[in-house]
Structure 1
Amino acid sequence: MTASASWTVGDVTVHRVDEIPLPPATGPWLLPGATPDVVAGQDWLRPHYADDEGVLRIDSHSFAFTVGGLRALVDTGIGNGKQRANPAWHNLGTDYLERLTAAGFPPDSVDLVLLTHLHADHVGWNTREVDGAWIPTFPNARYLTSRTEREFWAGHAMDEARRQMFCDSVQPVEEAGLLDLVDVPAEGVEVTPGLRLIPTPGHTPGHVAVELTSRGRTALITGDCVHHPVQLAHPGIGACVDIDPGRSEVTRRGLLGSLAGTDTLLLGTHFAPPTAGRVVTHQGAFRLSPVPADSA
């Protein structure tokens, strides 16, 4: 198995744990404003983030690292054997857990699972099926998400597909007593030295990004406040599933503006390889200056 891609942030090594590349139809559905003409206007998106026809490349993966002595995983992808309305997510059979183990994070060793938000493609590997029941994949971990996020969905009128997702991927973790709800103030909250949750609302009300710091270096994992690098050039392009599109845009513009020209490494939860880069100003907005992985 090919070694996982990784980046060095001070003393921390951040591993990208691949699940699957998403099909070409994902882009037009997810980011309808990112038309081929819009994409073609940004040469820097090709060839990594879009093809010559303007079709976006979008992936599903997690990030794993050790910080403050804790072995952490950020988001858990789509999962295997899950019944999903989206055909690209339905009844997968990937080798995600083998990839996670090969990166040095066997499931029993994980201490923290950080969930940027509670959408089906970010919580799927929270659980795995054993003898017909969904059980926590990471039995020795604390699963963390924002209190605002969980309370929003608790009061939200969910359709059948979302109820199914909560039933197989969130409730088993809660019933096992492993889910911790974290209050995330405007300035963010420290989970452990070197690891912070930063509020990035809009895609969902309690969405958080994950910030890592070590030896004066910083990285930020986006979750879904930025789905694709085209949104750096056009921060007004939102996702069709944003709960509050206006707030999502304000969050995205503020975040990118705060990162532009800094040394912070931006790690996109759905960014195709090379996945990571630094935000620079470009044509009145921004672009991503790629930072290749240490190994791939």
Structure 2
Amino acid sequence: MNSESVQRTALGDVEIIRVVEWTGEFITGRALVPDAPAQLWQDNADWLAPDHWSPGTDLASVTLQSWVLRSGGRTVLVDTGVGNGRERPGNPLFHRQEGDFLGRLAAVGVRPEEVDVVVNTHIHADHVGWNTRDAGGEWVPTFPNAQYLLPAADVFHFGPENDYANGRREDDRLIFEDSIAPVIASGQAVLWDGSHRIDAHLGLEAAPGHTPGSAVLRLDSGGDRAVFVGDLMHSPVQILAPGCSSCLCLDPAEAAVSRRRILERAADQQELVVPAHFGGTGIVEVRREGSEFALGRWVG
């Protein structure tokens, strides 16, 4: 996995730094968003290609990325990517990867010991991987001085009390054991539910459906607003068709309810939408179009 893309944006008093871990073709658009009709992709091919979809192959492109926020004198890291040396037998894209994520953080001026807060929008392999690092055969927190904010509903759902998401996938147990359990054991984890205030500019809010604990991070500073929506959307077609959830959502109907609620507020309050996996600049305006939504300008 490789990419050298780094992008900086300022919203009010908050600096946003995008660090891309990987970008490329994933699965077909119709497999990624099963209920989105083929015509929807075709009708929007002129702007979906090449950053989000390839008409020739029908393959959707996704980006694995993290966001560094400089807010109130602190460094907040939103999602931590895939991680190195992970056993992920159920997903070849994430299995035993060896990347330079920490080098990319260093390139934008962030050392592990300087991270104050880690936000995991939810507990999936590509959002928690660099929570920890291998220290001589033991997984330890990568960011030794950070508070890790974990959605309590996901910690329960994917944890041992629930037989690691009901024992359906070996990857769920492995993810919890190498990327979540060590953070909890270190005493650095804060499990939150409903909402959680980080500082005057940043706050977390539950948006369940993709996972039971899926969350969004809201930014409000100096009249500028943004919402980091995690995996509520994997493709921009879900802005045009918010009722269509991805194949990766554990509760597609609940995810659709959360998605519409977040999009309504984004359109009404002029919040920029920042999904975890959009290509291009990764940040987009959303506006109302009748009872539905349309994309405005891309930012960055």
TM-score for both structures, normalised by structure 2 = 0.90
Which AA in structure 2 matches 1:107?
Answer: P
Q: Does 1:160 align with 2:167?
A: no
| Aligned mate of 1:11, from 10, 13, 17 | 13
Which AA in structure 2 matches 1:157?
Answer: N
Asked if the contact 2:158/2:173 (under 8 Å) is kept, the reply is no
CA distance in 2, matches of 1:51, 1:281: 26
CA distance in 1, matches of 2:229, 2:121: 8
Change (3 A) 1:280 1:144: same
Q: Does 1:73 align with 2:77?
A: yes
Q: How does 1:177-188 map to 2 (within 5 A)?
A: 177-184=187-194, 188=195
| Cα-to-partner distance string for 1:73-131 (whole Å, 9 max, x where unaligned) | 01111111111120111111222111111112111110000111111111001111121
Asked if the contact 1:3/1:102 (under 8 Å) is kept, the reply is no
Q: CA deviation at 1:230?
A: 1.0
User: Gaps spanning 5+ residues in structure 2: where?
Assistant: none
Which AA in structure 2 matches 1:287?
Answer: A
Asked if the contact 1:3/1:103 (under 8 Å) is kept, the reply is no
SS of match in other structure, 1:94: coil
CA distance in 1, matches of 2:138, 2:32: 31
Total equivalences in the alignment: 290
Query: Which of 1 and 2 has higher RCO (CA within 8 Å, sep 6+)?
Result: 1
Asked if the contact 2:25/2:59 (under 8 Å) is kept, the reply is no
1:264 alignment counterpart: 271
Asked if the contact 2:285/2:299 (under 8 Å) is kept, the reply is no
After alignment, is 253-262 or 6-15 more displaced?
A: 253-262
Asked if the contact 1:275/1:290 (under 8 Å) is kept, the reply is no
User: Gaps spanning 5+ residues in structure 1: where?
Assistant: none
Q: Which structure has the highest strand share of the two?
A: 2
1:48 alignment counterpart: 51
1:216 alignment counterpart: 223
Q: CA deviation at 1:36?
A: 4.5
Identical counterparts, % of pairs = 37
CA distance in 2, matches of 1:272, 1:44: 12
1:125 alignment counterpart: 130
Change (3 A) 1:2 1:243: closer
Q: Does 1:277 align with 2:281?
A: no
Q: CA deviation at 1:243?
A: 1.8
SS of match in other structure, 1:23: strand
CA distance in 2, matches of 1:44, 1:23: 16
